[in-house]
Homo-oligomer: A and B are copies of this chain.
Amino acid sequence: MLLTIDLDSEVPIYQQIRDRVVEAIADGDLAEGSALPSTRQLAADLAINFHTVNKAYDLLRREGVIRINRKSGAVVRRDAGSGPAEAGFADEWQARLRTLLAEATVHGLGEQEVLRRCGEVIDSFGARKVRPGEVDLLSNG
């Protein structure tokens, strides 16, 4: 399963779903234009209420990551990052980055080590990693 959640996590379920979808897009596992499962279907697979999935999808829509139509359902936007609220995104994002990197520094990770891990994560993006025969919950079909 390409999308897993942790019911015991302190992170809200809808936030976990949102994070996994964003990561899947960055990884290339979710191509632009591809459809996400229906809210009821994904809720059934995750054994949660469909309103929780609906909240996650609505968050992704408000962030400009996906489009939601009654016909085609939830679809990854082809021009994600071009929404109206994207103007000041970089600044707000870098503020959160600053907090996260500060945390690593305080916990003893050297600046070089931190930068190395940043590069490692970035390099991991863009490559499709679904093995042949693996069930892909997030793809069409």
Using a CB–CB cutoff of 8 Å, the interface residues on chain A facing chain B are 19, 22-23, 25-27, 64-65, 80-82, 86, 89-90, 93-94, 96-109, 111, 114-115, 117-119, 121-122, 124-126
Contacts and interface: CB of A to CB of B under 8 A. Distances in A.
Given A80-B106, A81-B106, A108-B80, A100 B98 contact: no
Given A100-B96, A101-B26, A125-B102, A80 B65 contact: no
B101 A118 contact: yes
Nearest to A15: B99
A137 to B, nearest CB: 18
Contacts of A27: 102
Contacts of A106: 22, 25-26, 65, 80-81
